């Protein structure tokens, strides 16, 4: 089964935003046994959308279309679809009610322009939108099962998971299509892509099944193991020994699987080991705490966090003496250590993390360059400080500081667990 993904929006063909929807959808289909053969992006132009739908409806088994379902004049997908199907648009009462309810829930007045979102080409099935106003549409378009989803990523993802995925699974079982592609991702921290290529060597050669490759996103490496087989069980069977070998070679460089984040992995370890944490951040400005609270349940381990951007806050809130700041500077091993120890002591936690550094772009000197970040981890026995000089811009330096702090704590928790066993 072949799928084509169509993205609609002037902002995409103008290069104003990256098309993350096509990326996400492309990741969802192979595990269902559907191969993505093409992405197409067109602007908010009815002729371009109509032409793309007509052409791809003849060549694909599945069409996933995102965007152009909004309430404004440049949202043309519904008109293009009606044109291709040669039907009229109908006001769907059920959709209108859903949209009205949405505004009541939001405590906002509904604009009359939103009414157009309840206009659906005749004969189409509607896909409910739980978190936005644009309903989705499902219909057969020439040879293809076509699904029209909102362009807002969160709405698109929820609609795919809740409505489209099961329909695709049904289609596959009806068509008796065999063969699936199963992908397993291992998440790695603390080394580079070329080093991983060296550690895995021939395992990453092309044309193998499973195929092993690596991708980088947001400074984190994922190692993908992609197996093609008749069914999920046998594909998993192909993946298993390869995964074991990779785990053997990379060891603790692997922190998780799938789309697990490093902060999520550390949060899980803290919860499982019933350990608590307090953080004190200077240059990362709250980013570490934000990452740790991205998933719910952080109240079980994160007792408190401080953003001590100013020197006075370092002194007043965490007891870093002005003497130490004056002698060594705010960006120093000594201040990082006091931040971590102070946070741990005041919040009465098992661990304290302290970060102080020069994220740039200004503020660097020869002795203390931009990218210099001290990261301290305090526990009941010691305060350990790591000195780093991170490359990259402000955003990259801060992200790397957050990840390095999380990874230091992860290794401490692994050690502790090993001792406890």
Query: Segment 290-309, which members bind its own copies (CB under 8 A)?
Result: 290, 292-296, 298-299, 302-309
Question: Among residues 44, 61, 350, 407, which is the contact residue for its own copies, using CB under 8 A?
Answer: 44
Number of residues near its own copies (by CB under 8 A): 117
226 forms part of the interface with its own copies (CB under 8 A): yes
CB of 154 to its own copies, least distance (A): 6
> What would the 3-class secondary structure string for 127-143 be?
ECCCCCCCCEEEEEECC
23 forms part of the interface with its own copies (CB under 8 A): yes
**Identity of the residue, 140 or 249, whose beta carbon is nearer to its own copies in the bound complex:** 249
Place of tokens 């795919």: 160
First to last CA, the chain: 49
- Contact of 57 with 144, CB cutoff 8 Å: yes
For 101-165, strand residue ranges (E) read: 119-121, 125-127, 136-141, 144-149
Question: Among residues 389, 411, 414, 415, which is the contact residue for its own copies, using CB under 8 A?
Answer: 389
139 forms part of the interface with its own copies (CB under 8 A): no
**Identity of the residue, 123 or 258, whose beta carbon is nearer to its own copies in the bound complex:** 258
CB neighbour class for 367 (10 Å; exposed up to 12, middle 13-18, buried from 19):
exposed
**Identity of the residue, 83 or 394, whose beta carbon is nearer to its own copies in the bound complex:** 394
Q: CB atoms < 10 A from the CB of 224, how many?
A: 14
Positions in 99-138 near its own copies (CB under 8 A):
102, 105-108, 111-114, 131, 133
**Identity of the residue, 123 or 361, whose beta carbon is nearer to its own copies in the bound complex:** 361
- Gap between the Cα atoms of 66 and 11, Å rounded: 13
Per-residue mark of binding to its own copies, 243-272 (x: CB under 8 A)? ------------------------------
Closest by Cα among 408, 413, 323, 411 to 373: 408
Positions in 334-373 near its own copies (CB under 8 A):
346-347, 359-363
Closest by Cα among 137, 120, 121, 118 to 85: 121
**Identity of the residue, 12 or 120, whose beta carbon is nearer to its own copies in the bound complex:** 12
396 forms part of the interface with its own copies (CB under 8 A): yes
Positions in 179-198 near its own copies (CB under 8 A):
183, 185, 192-195, 197-198
Closest by Cα among 145, 148, 171 to 159: 148
Per-residue CA distances from 178 to 25, 28, 165, 169, 181 (Å): 21, 17, 17, 12, 10
CB of 119 to its own copies, least distance (A): 14
């Amino acid at each position: 089964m072949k799928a084509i993904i169509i993205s609609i929006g002037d902002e995409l063909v103008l290069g104003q935003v990256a098309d993350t929807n096509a990326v996400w959808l492309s990741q969802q289909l192979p595990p269902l046994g559907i191969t993505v053969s093409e992405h197409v992006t067109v602007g908010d132009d009815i002729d371009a959308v109509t032409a793309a739908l007509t052409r791809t409806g003849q060549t694909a088994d599945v069409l996933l279309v995102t965007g152009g379902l909004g309430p404004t004049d440049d949202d043309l997908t519904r008109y293009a679809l009606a044109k291709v199907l040669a039907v009229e648009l109908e006001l769907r009462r059920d959709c209108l009610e859903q949209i009205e309810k949405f505004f009541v829930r939001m405590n906002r007045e509904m604009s009359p322009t939103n009414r157009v979102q309840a206009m659906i080409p005749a004969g189409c099935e509607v896909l409910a939108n739980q978190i936005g106003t644009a309903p989705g549409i499902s219909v057969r378009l020439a040879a293809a099962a076509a699904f029209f989803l909102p362009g807002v990523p969160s709405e698109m993802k929820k609609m795919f998971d809740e409505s489209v995925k099961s329909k695709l699974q049904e289609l596959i079982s009806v068509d008796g299509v065999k063969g699936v592609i199963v992908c397993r991702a291992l998440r790695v921290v603390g080394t580079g892509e070329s080093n991983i290529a060296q550690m895995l060597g021939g395992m990453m050669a092309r044309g193998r099944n499973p195929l092993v490759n690596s991708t980088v996103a947001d400074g984190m490496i994922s190692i993908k193991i992609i197996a093609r087989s008749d069914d999920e069980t046998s594909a998993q069977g192909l993946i298993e020994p390869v995964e074991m070998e990779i785990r053997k070679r990379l060891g603790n460089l692997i922190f998780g699987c799938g789309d697990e984040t490093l902060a999520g992995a550390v949060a899980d370890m803290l919860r499982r080991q019933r350990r608590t944490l307090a953080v004190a951040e200077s240059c990362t400005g709250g980013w570490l705490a934000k990452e740790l609270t991205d998933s719910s349940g952080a109240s079980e381990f994160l007792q408190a966090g401080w953003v001590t951007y100013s020197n006075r806050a370092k002194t007043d809130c965490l007891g870093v003496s002005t003497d130490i700041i004056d002698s060594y500077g705010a960006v120093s091993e000594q201040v990082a250590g006091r931040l971590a120890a102070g946070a741990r002591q005041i919040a009465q936690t098992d661990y304290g993390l302290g970060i102080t550094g020069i994220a740039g772009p200004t503020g660097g000197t020869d002795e203390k360059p931009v990218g210099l970040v001290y990261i301290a981890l305090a526990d009941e026995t010691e305060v350990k400080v790591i000195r780093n000089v991170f490359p990259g811009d402000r955003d990259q330096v801060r992200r790397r500081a957050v990840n390095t702090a999380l990874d230091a704590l992860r290794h401490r928790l692994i050690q502790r667990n090993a001792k406890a066993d």
